[in-house]
Amino acid sequence: MAFSTTDRRRAEEIAARYPQARSATLPLLFLVQDRDGSVTSQGIEDVAEFLGLTPAVVLGTCSFYTMFKTTPVGRLVVSVCTNVACMVKGGMELHEDLRRHYAADDEVFVEEVECMAHCDRAPAVQVNYDFHGPLDAAAAVDVVEQYRSGALRARTISGTSQGAAE
């Protein structure tokens, strides 16, 4: 799906913030990720065409950053820190528990991440880039279920407010 008129207008607004259009690569990748549910090959081509870059350059940028997903991940991305402070406080076990709990759930994607700079709240978890912690497995499942039910409002999978991809 190529940039729609709305996508193009939004991309122009985003690119206008930067002295060089290429600097808009990351926010435009977020735009296509929120639009498509992941950064698709078409999304990479859309960003490349808009910025006058090659798809290889855009793919290189996309593949460098872990927040860009190249396969669909569902509506909720649950990131569990397993770096030193969180590991000592049970982050690895928390990640494994959540991974098992949501293994068959297409709406919830659980990932292990490096330090989220939330060490004082270890073990730390993010749901669509909103911080929570310290949490044990039961509390983490409860938080995820609050997002699922709408009791907590989830950002997009790129961490932006709903309807404002940037």
**Which CATH number goes with the domain that contains 47?**
1.10.10.1590
Residue keyed to tokens 């990351």:
26
The answer to whether residue 155 is domain-embedded is no
CATH number for the domain that contains residue 131: 3.40.30.10
Whether 103 maps to a domain, the answer reads yes
pLDDT along the chain (166 residues), means of 10: 87 95 95 92 96 96 93 93 95 97 96 92 94 96 96 87 51
Instruction: Quote the pLDDT of residue 163.
Output: 47
Same domain, 59 and 84: no
Res 2: pLDDT: 77
Q: Is residue 37 situated within a structural domain?
A: yes
What pLDDT is attached to residue 159?
80
**Helices (DSSP H) in the chain: which residue ranges?**
5-15, 25-36, 41-51, 55-64, 84-88, 91-101, 137-149
For residue 52, count CB atoms less than 10 angstroms from its CB and return exposed for 0-12, middle for 13-18, buried for 19 or more. exposed
Q: Are residues 137 and 80 in the same domain?
A: yes
